[in-house]
Amino acid sequence: MAKYSNKKCRFVILISGRGSNMQKLVETCNNENWSADISAVISNNPKATGLDWAKEKGLNSISLDSSYYSSRDEFDRDLSIEIDKYSPDYILLAGFMRILSYSFVKKYYGKLINIHPSLLPAFPGLNTHSNAIKSGVRIHGCTVHFVSPELDSGPIIAQGYTNVFSYDDVKTLSERVLKVEHKVLPSVARWLTLSEIMLDEQDKVMILNNHNGLFYL
């Protein structure tokens, strides 16, 4: 059974662009009065419009320009320093378009959670929507998973899916999948605030209280 306490669950959210998943998560957290604290929003892109939105909402907004760093390890070191200032329970990658170093992932393993725009293990990496259309699949969607050192391969927490129609192009499909993402990520984040997601020693995800980790739009 989940253990409940008065302690708020602390999140740091990483973004690279407009941060629509971050925005939906923050709005849902506020509207539903979660026992959570969005401690900071950090972007590797100083021009990310999501940072402006976060600032307007009074959130700590930090920019670390990844183009200034000569190596991934150097950037990840400074990113880790910023993250550790907030002692988060979880770090949510919401459209964070960087591959993280092995040492970074190992340091935060079990706390790092990513949302990926495909039904993993199908279509890891980039261009997921065009790849889905080219492959002829009938369903497509998103996956929320714990981050592991191997790209887009960590233990899966939840997935959301939608139909792929014959008339779909990348734009229409991506817009529909984004609506699914806006359902799945806030749901997972809320379960985290309630201590209803567990990762055991065998890296198996357990979701308590009979939550269904599959969503459809």
State pLDDT tens for residues 131-145: 999 999 999 999 999
Complete domains list, the chain, with CATH? 9-216 (3.40.50.170)
- The per-residue pLDDT for range 81-106, each reduced to its tens digit, is 999 999 999 999 999 999 999 999 99
Strand locations in 44-172 (E): 61-63, 90-93, 112-116, 139-146, 156-163
Query: What integer pLDDT is reported at residue 1 of this predicted model?
Result: 37
Confidence band (pLDDT; 50, 70, 90) for 6?
A: low
Distance between first and last Cα of the chain: 30
Eight-class DSSP state of 117? S
- The per-residue pLDDT for range 180-209, each reduced to its tens digit, is 999 999 999 999 999 999 999 899 999 998
Count the neighbouring beta carbons within 10 Å of the beta carbon of residue 38. 26
Q: How far apart are CA 101 and CA 126, in angstroms?
A: 18
Radius of gyration of the chain from Cα atoms? Answer: 17
Is 116 marked active-site? yes
Query: What integer pLDDT is reported at residue 210 of this predicted model?
Result: 82
114 annotated as belonging to a binding site for a ligand: yes
22 annotated as belonging to a binding site for a ligand: no
Burial of 12 (0-12, 13-18, 19+ CB in 10 A): buried
The long-range contacts involving 55-61, CB below 8 angstroms and separated by at least 24 positions, are 57/26, 59/26, 60/86
127 annotated as belonging to a binding site for a ligand: no
Output the 3-class SS for 140-151. EEEEEEECCCCC
Query: What integer pLDDT is reported at residue 211 of this predicted model?
Result: 87
Per-residue pLDDT, averaged over 155-171, amounts to: 98
pLDDT at residue 126 greater than cutoff 90 = yes
- Given 116, 129, 140, 182, which residue is catalytic? 116
- The per-residue pLDDT for range 34-88, each reduced to its tens digit, is 999 999 999 999 999 999 999 999 999 999 999 999 999 999 999 999 999 999 9
99 annotated as belonging to a binding site for a ligand: yes
Q: Would the CA dihedral through 157, 162, 164, 167 be positive or negative?
A: negative
98 annotated as belonging to a binding site for a ligand: yes
pLDDT at residue 4 greater than cutoff 90 = no
What is the residue-averaged pLDDT of the chain?
A: 95
Burial of 18 (0-12, 13-18, 19+ CB in 10 A): middle
Cis peptide before 46 (omega within 30 of 0): no
How big is the chain, counted in residues?
Answer: 217
Percent of the chain whose pLDDT exceeds 70: 97
**Quick check: 19 and 49 in contact, CB under 8 A?**
yes
Query: What integer pLDDT is reported at residue 85 of this predicted model?
Result: 98
